[in-house]
Copies of this chain bind each other. A is one copy, B any other.
Amino acid sequence: MSENFRVVVDAFGGDNAPAEPVKGAVLALKAEPKLSVILTGKEELIREQLSGMDYPEDRLSIVDAREVIVTGEAPVASIQKKKDSSLVVGLQLVRKGEADAFISAGNTGSVLVGGQVIARKARGVARAPLATIIPNAEGCCLLVDSGANVDARPEHLVQFAVMGSAYMKHVMNVDSPRVALANIGVEPDKGNALTKETYALLSEREDINFIGNLEVRDIPAGGADVIVCEAFTGNVILKMYEGTVKTFLKVIKEGLMTSTRSKIGGLLIKPALKETIKAYDVNQYGGAPLLGLRGLVVKCHGNATAEIFKNAVLQCAAFIKSDIGGIISRAFASEPEEG
């Protein structure tokens, strides 16, 4: 851990590249004086974006990378073939210790695979889960694994619980985080083979505050600080959340256009509704980190804006300050190695 925060931003990842990642990096540099940013990607196009912008030149550098990994490319193949991509070059900087963190809004699968293969898992960590902060009626909670490792085994979910708990404690400052298992019932014997076995294993852990199963229906209302699940389930939870809020809001808005009365009402409630919508924006928290790596890797939503990139970069500074990476490594240092 260096005194300064060295963050790589993949300038060619996501739908709004390179404009938004570059803008976001500059915004973050202005907000945090101890930060330095490295942008990876086609240097001349990055310089074009930067021209006319006011930023601390001594804390921003560019590492040229000529290839771009696009949406839909097979994750493993993309990492292996495009060695000169903004993504691979950026992750290599973390691997070589030239940066502390890497942020990308690019191909999710490539970021997840690249993070585990190039940045590498910490000793003792079997799988590196994606940890996404989601809003709920209490504030927010951590959903882990929200999409990295499908078909994980019970012992992997136990590691997710330990890592998620450390994250909420040390990064989000939650005292004794309540850890729950996402399930389709409350009783210990509810669910599928995976949840039943995981429940038993989690009950035995003394290093986490396991509070039992959390019914999926209750996730939006709250009740836990860390929600543990297998990645397919986690991604279904995340996407149903996002999709339901989006569609429900659209339908409400359409409903408000049905009469003059409701149109006037709609205008009056607009400011209040806007606040509510903001509170339920699944993407408001910037990026989701892959937990359990030797360096820090953060995945941003594909259509992330400059504001989101800025938040993600500043979030990295918080991660590095909290030494969450070191805490997780030490938690698993004594566990046996796995593929």
**Residues of A bordering B, CB below 8 Å:** 72, 74, 136-137, 147, 150-151, 182, 184, 187, 189, 191-193, 195, 215-221, 232-233, 235-237, 239-248, 250-252, 255-256, 258-259, 261-262, 264-273, 275-276, 279-280
Which of A191, A193, A262 counts the most B-chain CB atoms under 10 A from its CB? A262
Least distance between A39 CB and chain B CB atoms (Å)? 28
Q: Tell me whether B220 and A247 are in contact (CB under 8 A).
A: yes
> Once the chains are docked, how many angstroms separate the CA of A189 from the CA of B150?
13
Chain B residues positioned under 8 Å from A269 (CB to CB): 255-256, 261-262, 265-266, 269
- Contact of A233 with B235 at beta-carbon distance under 8 Å, contacts A240-B217, A244-B220, A259-B272 already known: no
**A231 CB, min distance to chain B CBs, angstroms:** 8
Q: How many copies does the complex hold?
A: 2
**Min distance, Cβ A302 to any Cβ of chain B, angstroms:** 12
Nearest to A276 among chain B residues (CB) is: B255
Are A235 and B216 within 8 A (Cβ)? yes
Known contacts A252-B273, A262-B268; decide if A244 and B245 are in contact (CB<8 Å).
yes
Given contacts A244-B241, A248-B280, contact A191 B150 (CB under 8 A): yes
Within the complex, the shortest CB–CB distance from A238 to chain B, in Å, comes to 9
Contact check, A247 vs B235: say whether CB atoms are below 8 A apart: no
Q: Which residue of B lies closest to A151 (CB)?
A: B192
- In contact, B236 and A240 (Cβ under 8 angstroms): yes
Q: How many whole Å from A154's CB to the nearest CB in chain B?
A: 14
> Is the CB–CB distance between A239 and B215 below 8 Å?
yes
- Distance (Å) between the CB of A205 and the closest chain B CB? 23
Query: Are B192 and A232 neighbours in the complex by a CB distance under 8 Å?
Result: yes
With a cutoff of 8 Å between Cβ atoms, the chain B residues found around residue A246 in the complex are 217, 220-221
Q: How far is the CA of A220 from the CA of B235 in the complex (A)?
A: 15
Q: Indicate whether A220 sits within 8 Å of B193 (C-beta atoms), given known contacts A256-B272, A275-B255.
A: no
Minimum CB–CB distance from A251 to chain B (whole Å) comes to 5
A251 touching B268 by the CB < 8 A rule? Answer: no
Cβ distance A217 to chain B, nearest Cβ, rounded Å: 4
B262 x A243 contact (CB < 8 A): no
Q: In angstroms, how far is the closest chain B Cβ from the Cβ of A72?
A: 7
Contact between B255 and A244 (Cβ–Cβ < 8 Å)? Answer: no
Do the beta carbons of A255 and B233 come within 8 Å of each other?
Answer: no
A270 to B256, CA, bound (A): 9
Is the Cβ of A255 less than 8 Å from the Cβ of B239?
no
Closest residue of B by beta carbon distance from A250: B137
CA A246 to CA B220, docked complex, whole Å = 9
In the complex the two chains form, is A272's CB within 8 Å of B244's CB?
Answer: no
